[in-house]
Structure 1
Amino acid sequence: MSGNAQVQGPQGVSLIGAPTDVGASCIGARMGPSALRVAGLAQAIARFGLPVHDLGDLHGPDNPAQPAIDGHRHLAEVARWNAMLHEATLGELRRGRLPIVLGGDHCLAMGSVSAVARHCREQGKPLRVLWLDAHADFNTAALTPSGNLHGMPMACLCGHGPEVLTQLGGQVPALHPGQIRQIGIRSVDEGEKRFVHTLGIEVYDMRFIDEMGMRHTMQQALEGLGADTHLHVSLDVDFLDPDIAPGVGTTVRGGPNYREAQLCMEMIADTGRLGSLDVVELNPALDVRNQTAELAVDLIESLFGKSTLMRRG
């Protein structure tokens, strides 16, 4: 399989570092971009013949480590980081490049996904968002037990949150429930669960994957993609089982194993529609010899077309 065939942007790939843990309860994800670079991400993608533009790191406010105010921790800082990331991501999409956001915690998806949605509206393209995560991230100020905004990006993208976050992309909501597929979910708060059901989000939780297998799960999640659909993958590293990916702040046992994760990525690559990517919640302070970052790079290679397939096409 040709790596070049998997990418819509003929101008190559852009790496955008967003070194912040301002939305999380556990510090350390701010070091994620460096760990991914050390693990050889740019070199791995370049092997597919794609120009790689490493834009370096965005520079935003520090993590003030303050308690929640009215159900949100660090709202002003999270808004600033996401506004910067929105502009950076949108700029690379308009240049015809495939942006990869190197997080940082998952609150950053508010900026990246709102930019992708805005670009798709401008281009008249359908959008599909694959949310690979142990958590639904559909909390709101009224539902959250912690106030941490990395548990709220999906809700904000669907228009449920403070205006400074829901209006990042110029349209509220940035996403509609029918554009979202959540995969690998296994830790959801009770109020959050009811909210997800009310909105009608398609969720393929770990029980579904256990019962039906990853192949069937991905066939369902990718069903209906058109030739011009933009596919955005938001990969929270805690999607993976902590036995293979210990370097995250919110580990949840019972996630996909190595081969299941590889199959997930290979089937996404097979569509040829990958248009943008987040890699978030990697926490090197909790990792073992950078193995989680190296695994993330391995999976990204599969997203770009690396395959163990030995059968004839």
Structure 2
Amino acid sequence: MSIRQISLIGAPTDIGAGARGASMGPEALRVAGIAATLAAHGLEVADRGNLAGPANPWLPPEGGYRHLAEVTAWNQAVHDAMLAELRADRLPILLGGDHCLGLGSISAVARHCRERGRKLRVLWLDAHADFNTSALTPSGNLHGMPVACLCGHGPQALVEMSGAVPAIDPKWVRQIGIRSVDPGEKRFVHEVGLEVFDMRFIDEHGMRHAMELALATLDANTHLHVSFDVDFLDPDIAPGVGTTVRGGPTYREAQLCMEMIADTGRLASLDVMELNPALDLRNQTAELAVDLIESLFGKSTLMRA
């Protein structure tokens, strides 16, 4: 049964990123009309406003991590806010902010699934695998590490946030649209058996087949979480991100991806991450993101059986 009550949670920080500006992402999504767009589909939308957290000190990495204390504080705030909405049987949408916040969000979802005895499937829509560690990272930026931390590879404060270590099993994750993975990270992804539908797979087999495999075996007891990094999209259509990588999904491929997720009726939580209005053109990336989110919640060209 699909959830009809939506909560928007803003997390205005670029604390884990290598470029400033993702802190303005939540407001750009609001300006692009996310609340009204979802409400037009008969959903009850409550905007919870923005979370508060430490300012970005913009310091070099220490011990392989940049801003670890601040990243931990922001993720704890995200975790607590997401968990409160899930426990109230609402569907939370996290408006990022950089993708390090996916750690707090999915930690909350994993905790909630344990409490309810539900299975979890995470779709990670991204140009990057985000499976770096302090030993592998070229930058120390924590927005390149959330999936590794969720799988138990990272600093104690982050890996323990869900109340269990690891928060998730790599087998629960499906990564889609990947096309930029660091050399050491590539080996690590292979070692842990992460299921990745990279752009070569999508080029060879099509988005439909990739999504059929990514969504296989979902059942009524599965909580589907989508973590949507806007750099998943090709930068020709979505320039407003700090980490553009050419060769991403086209508009139609992205729409198909979202519509197939909607068709499952299992979507129960969502992150929208890494939107950087400072790098955008007249808010077009935010407007595209809202268009795609609308498709996640049932917009389609025709009535379908």
Distance 1:264 1:53 in 2: 26
1:250 is aligned to 2:250: no
Q: Kindly tell me the number of residue pairs found equivalent between the two proteins.
A: 305
The one-letter code sitting in structure 1 at the alignment partner of 2:227 is S
Residue 191 (structure 1) shift: 0.4
2:30 aligned with 1:37, yes or no? yes
1:136 aligns with 2:129: yes
SS at the partner of 1:154?
Answer: helix
Distance 2:138 2:155 in 1: 17
* Alignment partners' CA distance in 2, 1:285 and 1:201: 33
Q: Residue 160 of structure 1 aligns with which residue?
A: 153
What letter matches 1:81 in structure 2?
Answer: W
Quote the residue 2:65 is aligned against.
Answer: 72
Identity of aligned residues (%): 74
SS in 1 for 2:175: strand
TM-score by length of 1: 0.96
CA deviation after TM superposition for structure 1 residue 308, in Å: 1.5
Q: Following the alignment from structure 2 to structure 1, what is the Cα–Cα distance between the partners of residues 42 and 129?
A: 35
What is the letter of the counterpart of residue 288 of structure 2? L
Matched, 1:110 2:106: no
Distance 1:123 1:160 in 2: 25
Q: Which residue, 183, 186, 195 being the options, matches 2:188?
A: 195
Mapped pair 1:269 → 2:249: no
Aligned to 2:56: 63
Structure 2 unpaired stretches of 5+: none
Question: Is residue 87 of structure 2 the alignment partner of residue 94 of structure 1?
Answer: yes
Report deviation, 1:309: 3.2
Query: Cα deviations across residues 101-145 of structure 1 (Å, max 9, x unaligned)?
Result: 000000000100000000001000010000000000000000000
Q: Is 1:259–2:225 an aligned residue pair?
A: no
Where does structure 1 differ by over 6 angstroms across 4 or more consecutive aligned residues? none
Q: Compute the RMSD of aligned alpha carbons.
A: 0.8
For 2:301, the aligned partner's letter is T
Stretches of structure 1 that go unaligned for 5 or more consecutive residues are: none
Aligned partners of 2:43 and 2:230: how far apart in 1?
A: 24
Aligned to 2:288: 295
Structure 2 letter corresponding to 1:206: M
> Which residue, out of 209, 213, 222, partners 2:202?
209
1:31-62 deviation digits (Å, cap 9, x = unpaired): 00000000000000101111101000001000
1:18 to 6, 11, 25: 11
String of CA shifts for 1:142-188, please: whole Å, max 9, x gaps.
Answer: 00000000000000000000001001111000010110000000000
Q: What TM-score results when the alignment is normalised by the length of structure 2?
A: 0.99
Q: For the residues of structure 2 that align with 1:26 and 1:283, how far apart are their CA atoms?
A: 9
What is the CA–CA distance in structure 2 between the aligned matches of 1:266 and 1:67, rounded to whole Å?
41
Structure 2 letter corresponding to 1:29: A
Letter in 2 for 1:123: R
